Amino acid sequence: MKYDALFQSFNFKSGIEIENRIVMAPMTHFASNDDGSISDAELKYYSERANGPGLIITACANVTANGKAFPGQPAVDRDEMITGLRTLAETIKKNGAKAVLQIHHGGRECPPELVPNGDVVSASDVESSQGVQARALKEEEVAEIIRAFGEATRRAIEAGFDGVEIHGANGYLLQQFFSPFSNRRNDKWGGSLEKRLSFPMAIVDEVKNAVSAHAKEPFLIGYRLSPEEPHEPGITMKETFTLLDALVEKDLDYIHISLQEFWSKPRRGTTDTRSRIEIIQERIGDKVPVIGVGSIYTAEDAIKAKETNIPLIALGRELIIEPHWVEKIKAGEEATIQTALKKDDQERLVIPAQLWQAIVNAPGWFPFN
């Protein structure tokens, strides 16, 4: 009874219903084949975690060849990928979860060795966080990428996914266009705050058009964003409010707030001292459902987060550490939930070798005991 709030069904405005309030957050797994096709290791990883959450959002899939940001990233940039993506969707959906494909372009955060001719692109000629020099996209290239998000959505529909999540977070291309730090253009795609909004809004419109043209059944459209940037100039909470208000007008199924820590507080752009997620929920929560995420490990963490009136709670790292988190709470076995990795956990938890290596080589990313 204590955790009933996590197990209520939820209906999105598109007509999709999920059986509980737990979402598997999109997480890079580095496990797709080199050509971006879906691997057996990837399918086993999702299969192990597909029995509990109501909604599963995949690792981000690049919509163009020059948008690949990770080794082992799944691709949705060409029709040859549809067969493997269909198997992935079926694997996720086999026990009742809804499957959402996250669609993505890495922009200036793409390693040169992963993109054609090492040609790294962004909103402007700005270095990446790794010191890679990107070049500004030409206007016709901007239009091509917008079209690519629509084509990726068509492929997701053909592959049997229940929706797409537009990746506008974590410093990737959509955020690069919105940020005053990385967008220094003076054409229709940059300059004022309104013009910096143009690219992400054009992508939302293109995705919506693709759904209207190709989906014969209800199909979700979500958008993920990071509410602030740490550097100046950079996105502030005040600018995020403008982005949120614009997204609300697009009649989306949900907005997903990307946070490392659910209860983190604003840096600047507001005098409100509550957590960012509470501020955002108050601003838009009665207009579009919000997904909250960030360092939620235990059932108690999730229930406390739910008390903010956020309707949907996403788990990322915890569903790698404890693939059967939802089932254990439902069975009254929440005391047996694992909240930290052990050094010999890889095989038992069906974690792809590439992801395991990334975890081991990034101290502090995951808790270990």
Pair of tokens at residue 269: 């752009």
Instruction: State whether residue 21 is helix, strand or coil.
Output: coil
Instruction: Specify whether 172 is catalytic.
Output: yes
DSSP 80-149: GGHHHHHHHHHHHHTTT-EEEEEEE--GGGS-GGGSGGG--EESSS-B-TTSPBPEEPPHHHHHHHHHHH
Which residue, among 175, 134, 152, 137, has the nearest Cα to 258 in the 3D structure?
175
| CA atoms of 280 and 310, how far apart (whole Å) | 10
What is the sign, positive or negative, of the torsion defined by CA atoms of 32, 321, 225, 97? positive
| CA–centroid distance for 168 within its chain | 8
Number of residues in the chain: 369
Angstrom distances, CA of residue 229 to CA of 139, 170, 178, 179: 26, 9, 11, 8
| CA atoms of 35 and 59, how far apart (whole Å) | 15
Which residue, among 243, 256, 252, 133, has the nearest Cα to 199 in the 3D structure?
243
Helices (runs of H) and strands (runs of E) counted in the chain:
12, 13
18 bridge partner residues: 10
Which residue, among 170, 147, 158, 131, has the nearest Cα to 28 in the 3D structure?
170
254 bridge partner residues: 222
Catalytic residue among 45, 46, 172, 297: 172
Please, what's the largest Cα pairwise distance for the chain? 58
| CA atoms of 193 and 263, how far apart (whole Å) | 27
Would you name the residues annotated as active-site residues? 172
